Chain A
Amino acid sequence: MSYLRQNGGYYLMLLPGYLILLLFSFIPMYGLYLAFVDYNPLLPSIFDNTFLGTYWFEVMFTRPDMWKMVRNTLLLNLMKLLICFPAPVVLALLINEIRSKVFKRVFQTVSYLPNFISWVIVSGMLLIFLDTDNGLFNQLILLFGGEPVSWYSDASKWRWILVLTNLWKSVGWGTIMFLAAMTAVDKGLYEAAYVDGAGRLRQAVSITLPSIAPTITITLILTVGKLFSDDFDQIYSLVGDNPILAETTQVIGTQIYANVNGGAYGEFPLSTAYGLVQGIISLILILLSNFAVKRMGQEGIW
């Protein structure tokens, strides 16, 4: 009793947060049942629908766009893993070599800014470059006597556009954790290395890099854990419902959103099934990568 009297206040503080989680994270999960029924939106409860078992999961594999979406998701994420994951590490090492405090600070302010800008704004910025008539890229191409490109109807270029815009938006912000880890390095180590005749490059490779290794692993787990998730916000902001670009950019998240936003009730059960499969695979991936890191003797994310 006295425990409650002393700590009741703390449980009261937890109440609003857990109520929100219950209402908007956990209760909605009952809707996953939709993936197993013949859905009729007019019925009062989804549990009144006829149960179909694994029907929709079998339908999924007969749809040609499933493999397209899986391929797009995996390819985009692999390209991001190869390009957008190492880039902040390199950038952080470069920033670390800057000695002017003012320069460092201004650069950091500027490089973090894109992180706070929405993808919708980025899609507006992209018009500057890609607009068919006024865009800078086409103006440049014309200047050098080439044929203007109709960027928004050329699917082959969009994987790169998505990866590079992602790099632009995330590389600066990505350095923040690495820079934090670098400030924690014992300055005496550098002094000792200097006395032993190690140059700056040697110091960066032998002292700075190992000291940020745990941060690199954690970032890597998170990236690998997201290998099967899709960046809906980015893709739908930049590409939207453009049918031509769908060939290289459509992913499960964008298709589900288009279905829900368009009120395509007939697609709801299949969309739910897609979402469920993707969610489970993503969950397994992140649990596995965290487990792997712990086995390697490093600290995981939990």
Chain B
Amino acid sequence: MRIRSRGQIAFQIFNYIFLTLLGLCFLLPYLIILSAAFSSESSFLLHGYSLWPAEWSLDAFAAIFGEGSGIFDSFLSSVLITVCGTALQVTVTTLTAFGLSRRNLIGKRALMVVLLFSMLFSGGLVPSYIWIAGTLQLRNNYLAVLLPGAMNAWNCILEMNYLRGVPQEMEEAAKMDGCGPWRMLLRIFVPVSVPVIATVTLFAAVQYWNMWAEPTLYFDSNHRYMLPLTALLREIIQEDTSPSGGGVKGVDETVKMATVVVATLPIICVYPFLQKYFMSGLMLGSVKG
């Protein structure tokens, strides 16, 4: 723990410098995007990407939130999907995890095998599409993107591992007092599981906020207002990543960057505050019982 030799001092200095530079690598893209989003289109075309706007402008954000851009509709759709999806997934997953974490539950082994198998194998995209869009007729329906992710096996196992760490005496004392399953869950387990529930809430929110493949698949061009922001952003960016150079729909570069800012902002704002929870939630949840 103590610094002893010259070599170790040199290493410490190198380590701090290296990690500082690495940290900058993680941050720099955001800063450049922010700068582009707050630049005027003309100065951006002249100077390209930079760390500081040559000419400040809010035009890009005005364009996003202006009428007829469709981007604001998508923002609202993203909020709807994220709020509903997260509430649904956290409820369903926590209930399942709590049920499965009960000792001596008859049929538990079989239930675990089913859960594990669902993580390792799936029918794939085409069968799911035929089932959801064809048989269930959920095209252009928010349920098509909300329901399939409502049960998250990974998060469920994380919660189960965490719940295993809760002292058995608490459970027995509660049973003595005549606590039924539901009161046991709400009064005893939820309060002690705040870190892991906060962790899976963050994971679920990020999962739904970042979802684009399913909405693109299930919402057609007549229901573009339903497309979440990430899905819309992908379409906008695709123009630039096609080899012909694109520019078909002619969305300004600064507007694209402003959309990236709006799409990233909720995550950047919320995540640092949940960090203290997921550090402990993830660590305790991952320790195998």
Point out residues on A near B: beta carbons under 8 Å: 3, 7-14, 16-18, 20-21, 23-32, 34, 46, 91, 94-95, 97-98, 103, 106-114, 116-121, 123-125, 127-128, 131-136, 139, 150, 152-153, 168, 172, 176-177, 180, 183, 190-191, 194, 199-201, 232-233, 236-245, 253, 256-257, 259-261, 268, 271-272, 275-276, 278-280, 282-283, 286-287, 299, 302
The yes or no answer to B69 lying at the interface (CB within 8 A) is: no
- B237 CB to nearest A CB, Å: 5
Residues of A within 8 A of B132 (CB): 24, 28
A302 to B288, CA, bound (A): 10
Residues of A within 8 A of B259 (CB): 124
Q: Is the CB of A10 within 8 A of B241?
A: no
- B194 CB to nearest A CB, Å: 18
Output the nearest chain A residue to B126 by Cβ-Cβ distance: A272
The one of A24, A199, A279 in contact with B147, judged by C-beta atoms closer than 8 angstroms, is: A24
Against A, the Cβ 8 Å flags (1 = close, 0 = not) of B20-50 are: 0011011101101100100000001100110
Known: A127-B256, A237-B234. A21 touches B126 (CB 8 A): no
A243 to B123, CA, bound (A): 27
The yes or no answer to B272 lying at the interface (CB within 8 A) is: yes
Task: State the majority secondary structure of interface residues on A.
Answer: helix
Q: Is the CB of A98 within 8 A of B19?
A: yes
Output the nearest chain A residue to B113 by Cβ-Cβ distance: A302
Residues of B within 8 A of A32 (CB): 123-124, 127
A171 to B107, CA, bound (A): 39
Q: List 18 A-B contacts (CB under 8 A).
A: A8-B181, A9-B180, A16-B151, A30-B127, A31-B127, A113-B268, A118-B209, A120-B237, A124-B259, A125-B260, A131-B240, A199-B4, A199-B8, A244-B243, A260-B129, A261-B217, A272-B126, A278-B124
Residues of A within 8 A of B282 (CB): 176-177, 180
Output the nearest chain B residue to A236 by Cβ-Cβ distance: B213
